[in-house]
Structure 1
């Protein structure tokens, strides 16, 4: 593979690896928020922010962890036929089907960008009692979709290298 593609794959994989490893600790953030919610409802006044903060943390957890999941090849797939195929045939199939993922992520990123820009422009807030601004979590979604799109291209390049019998 050309050095620029190898460099792209190395950089994208390194960034998504680090972001994914950091996001693995998001489960503790969500647990802490929900624990505080239970404690505050039992012993103090109920907190208005806990449920929505836990939802925002969960969105960040799975959106920013998605590229790492793709990188580790731990995404869900139907192994009825795929599991018995050779590595080269798997690479051919993955190189073809990744275009569906790229299209889907492109549409998601386009919608997320529009929604985020609207949210920033008009100061959109959640319609709950806590009323947090919506743009921070929408921005996280844009970043996550963008990183996932970069990772999808990285996986495509790795599949092409596997088809050609090369390693990146």
Structure 2
């Protein structure tokens, strides 16, 4: 179990590092959005490339941020009962949800997205809009995002099993997302 917990901590560190990059992407997309608005309304100038860059960065935030949100326990959850349950029951719910839903969904989406992303890379797909950006660069990030989510799901699964075995404390994981 120590080796599995070491793997879980390595995955957690990866998610933390990506989370820091995402924070900078949020700032970048906010500045790009403001710049696009300023150019469009202040100077009557618009560019499909700027708009698509904004969309691509926004996509990266969500694709890469899923694993970080899961690690921080900041994902959306309907918390009518969950918050009132004991930590042990919560761990069981998380474990079952991860095994039955999170990991199969992530792997299924990887399976379905692989040919789509690889075909885009193979043909060097570009935007059909005038002045648009290459699409083949962004589409493989769907694979990266769901791979990271599956890895973080595995990390959470390992930690929940270790917690239920009395070998790990989950309370240290419950920290504020914004640092």
Match of 2:56 in 1: 56
Root-mean-square deviation (CA, aligned residues, Å) is 1.4
SS in 2 for 1:137: coil
Distance 1:82 1:44 in 2: 51
What secondary structure does 1:125 align onto? coil
For the residues of structure 1 that align with 2:16 and 2:122, how far apart are their CA atoms?
A: 33
Query: In the comparison of the two structures, how many residue pairs are matched?
Result: 167
Task: Extract unaligned runs of 5+ from structure 2.
Answer: 170-179
2:82 is the alignment partner of 1:82: yes
3-state SS of 2:4 partner: helix
- Which residue number in structure 1 is paired with residue 31 of structure 2? 32
Matched, 1:120 2:121: yes
Q: Work out the CA distance in 1 between the residues paired with 2:142 and 2:150.
A: 12
Question: Could you tell me which residue of structure 1 aligns to residue 148 of structure 2?
Answer: 147
**1:81 offset after TM fit, Å?**
1.3
CA distance in 1, matches of 2:69, 2:90: 18
CA distance in 1, matches of 2:31, 2:114: 30
**Distance of 1:18 and 1:71 partners within structure 2:** 12
- Would the aligned equivalents of 1:40 and 1:47 in 2 still touch at CA under 8 Å? no
Structure 1 length-normalised TM = 0.93
Q: Tell me which residue corresponds to 1:71.
A: 71
Alignment TM-score, normalising by the size of structure 2: 0.88
What is the deviation of 1:102?
Answer: 0.6
Aligned to 1:94: 94
Match in the other structure for 2:108: 107
- Mapped partners of 2:125, 2:86: distance in 1: 50
For 1:78 and 1:14, the matched residues in 2 are separated by 27
CA distance in 2, matches of 1:129, 1:119: 18
Task: Check conservation: 1:102, 1:149, Cα contact below 8 A.
Answer: yes
For residue 154 of structure 1, report the CA deviation from its aligned partner: 0.4
Q: Unpaired segments of 5 or more residues in structure 1?
A: none
Distance in 1, matches of 2:132 and 2:11, equals: 35
